[in-house]
Structure 1
Amino acid sequence: MPGPFLHRCAVCGTSTENRCSGCSKAGGPIIFFCSPEHQKLVWHNHKRVCRDRSAAFVAPPLSDEEYQHYRQVADIKIPHSKPPELRTTLAESVEKALADRKLPIDFQRVVAISRTAEDLADSWKQTILARIRADTAFLMTDPTGDSSKAPPVGSSTPWEFVAAFAELVLLYHKELSPITIHLVRFKHHALILHTLLRLRLAGSSREIPDDWILRSFEHVIEALNDGIYYKDQNDVHRYRATVDSLSAPVQQVVPFKHRGGFMPGFGILELSCWPE
């Protein structure tokens, strides 16, 4: 169900009818930018999932840096909060998750496969990529193995950030499949949010003001309306848990308060954020 932010700029929240033509022409989600300047601001990341990659949010293959990093951390045992005999390595954790989904289970092999863009649009390869990236991001965020908080922006790549965001949604919304089109617009907006947060950390509040960050986060949460519906008031705790989990990296940059509007059967129709 389209929400109130659908016709607002993905960067600043200004009301607009200007769509990203690359996403629109390729049958991807409707992403709005109020001006060429705001589209260019996030283009260095958005271009990698625009056009023919847009409709399914086809994430890029592992970079050389990611490949080397994931090989290095593959044998780290987690979570540290458990006795040594109960800990599993990152590779074992990923392999178990993939085996549960009847996907190839050799960690080193799937990491090697994920370095090439050939046939990367296959849903199982995208699932593998996302799982590796999300689990590594969670491990780097909390060595105890806690995967209920989104990773800090400064310690995650854009693709790890998006994968972790999607994994957190699946944690609270088990009715969704890891291989789904329901979270496509959500992922696009999560990528834009990460881009703005990184620009903010590298620059100043004058360049990327608080309001832009909060409007972008509102877009991320609103995009969940594409595929998640809350049947009754008992479902509100899932919404609140999801918002709290996803808000952690934003709170580290722009502390804020929020209020959500809820209509049973239709989902969360509005999330309003304002600086503390």
Structure 2
Amino acid sequence: MLASKRCSTCATSGIDLFFCSHEHQKLVWPNHKLVCGQDPVIFPDLSEDEARQIGTLAHRELSSPALQDLPASLASKLLRRGKISLARSTEVYLGASAGDFDEDSTIADGPDIPAFRHELLLRLRDGLFSLLNDLSRGKPENLEQALNSSTFNYAAFLHSAVPGWADLPQLAKTSFLHRAVVVATLVKLGRADTPAPASFKLEYIATSMRQLALSLQPYVRFPSLGVALEFARALVLEARSVYKFHALISTDLAGAMIDFSCKAVPPAQ
């Protein structure tokens, strides 16, 4: 499906965000309006319930921690300390001492500086989604928490699959996150176990996911096909494992992502 309707507000910030139709844009507007035109993208503050969940889960080991958005020296430092948790990775990112996450009740608030708020909320929401996702695997009693996790948590999680995130130009990061909000919104609307709005089309997910991936092509070159396919897996299969959206769209997305991934691998020298 051709995406030709441009978001005019995002365009003023240099962000080329396109939709298939007015209906496509309207479906995601309740979430996209909260970040529309922003650069950097600052996700909404954590709700009281989300803050409570983070407080409960912050010391659980992350199964697939996002270290690529940390400078290499900090990522190495974190890995040397063994267990990687949301609490510890946040402390390292902030340059704080071990234990500060628990002692400083305002660590999730931070200073009112856009760049800081952007990075901290991205990290906390990504970590919360990963933890809830881990808890839901094979445990139906925990699945509801993951399903009800904020759309912005899943949008934040999507960035953790991008190799070399820390080194991307700011506009590339911003463009990706705007598209991630669109994709996350559509994926939740397209859950197979809940009725979707009448204007919803499965093709909207495929088109938006393809735009998400293609926005990275000028900047990301995967070192191997294996790494590229891991990127595709994170974008497609993690969404499917949690939200159980329609099998047809999962197959279409997997094909589109593998095609993109193969093109993004640098040629052999």
> TM-score scaled by structure 1?
0.68
Work out whether 1:165 is the aligned partner of 2:158.
Answer: yes
C-alpha displacement of 1:187:
1.5
Provide the residue aligned with 2:86 in structure 1: 94
C-alpha displacement of 1:176:
3.2
Work out whether 1:50 is the aligned partner of 2:36.
Answer: yes
- CA spacing shift, 1:141–1:111, aligned 2, 3 Å: farther
Provide the residue aligned with 2:166 in structure 1: 177
Give the number of equivalent residue pairs. Answer: 227
Deviation per residue, 1:37-78 (Å, 9 max, x gap)? 322211110011113x2x222212212222222223335x43
Compare 216-225 and 254-263 and name the one that shifted more.
254-263
Provide the residue aligned with 2:77 in structure 1: none
CA distance in 2, matches of 1:203, 1:94: 34
Judge conservation of contact 1:46–1:191 (CA < 8 Å) in 2.
Answer: yes
CA distance in 2, matches of 1:108, 1:158: 26
Provide the residue aligned with 1:246 in structure 2: 235
Provide the residue aligned with 1:14 in structure 2: 2
Mapping of 1:57-68 within 5 angstroms? 57-68=41-52
Provide the residue aligned with 2:24 in structure 1: 38
User: What amino acid is the match of 1:42?
Assistant: V
Q: Considering fraction of residues, name the structure with more helix.
A: 2
Mapping of 1:1-276 within 5 angstroms? 13-16=1-4, 18-25=5-12, 27-51=13-37, 53=38, 55-75=39-59, 77-78=60-61, 93-104=85-96, 106-108=100-102, 112-115=106-109, 119-122=112-115, 124-143=116-135, 154-169=147-162, 173=163, 175-177=164-166, 181=170, 182-201=172-191, 202-204=194-196, 207-230=199-222, 235-251=224-240, 252-255=244-247, 256=251, 257-258=254-255, 259-261=258-260, 262-263=262-263
Judge conservation of contact 1:196–1:213 (CA < 8 Å) in 2.
Answer: yes
C-alpha displacement of 1:93:
2.0
- CA spacing shift, 1:20–1:144, aligned 2, 3 Å: closer
CA distance in 2, matches of 1:35, 1:264: 28
Judge conservation of contact 2:23–2:199 (CA < 8 Å) in 1.
Answer: no
Compare 36-45 and 175-184 and name the one that shifted more.
175-184
Judge conservation of contact 1:134–1:163 (CA < 8 Å) in 2.
Answer: yes
Q: Which runs of 5+ in 1 are unaligned?
A: 1-12, 81-85, 146-151, 268-276
Q: Considering fraction of residues, name the structure with more strand.
A: 1
Judge conservation of contact 1:23–1:30 (CA < 8 Å) in 2.
Answer: yes
User: What amino acid is the match of 1:187?
Assistant: L
**Aligned-residue CA RMSD in angstroms?**
3.5
Deviation per residue, 1:189-238 (Å, 9 max, x gap)? 121111112222342486423222222221222122242134xxx52222
Q: Which runs of 5+ in 2 are unaligned?
A: 64-80, 138-144
User: What amino acid is the match of 2:154?
Assistant: F
Secondary structure of 2:259's aligned partner:
strand
CA distance in 2, matches of 1:178, 1:126: 16
User: What amino acid is the match of 1:212?
Assistant: Y
CA distance in 1, matches of 2:58, 2:122: 15
CA distance in 1, matches of 2:15, 2:209: 17
- CA spacing shift, 1:264–1:37, aligned 2, 3 Å: closer
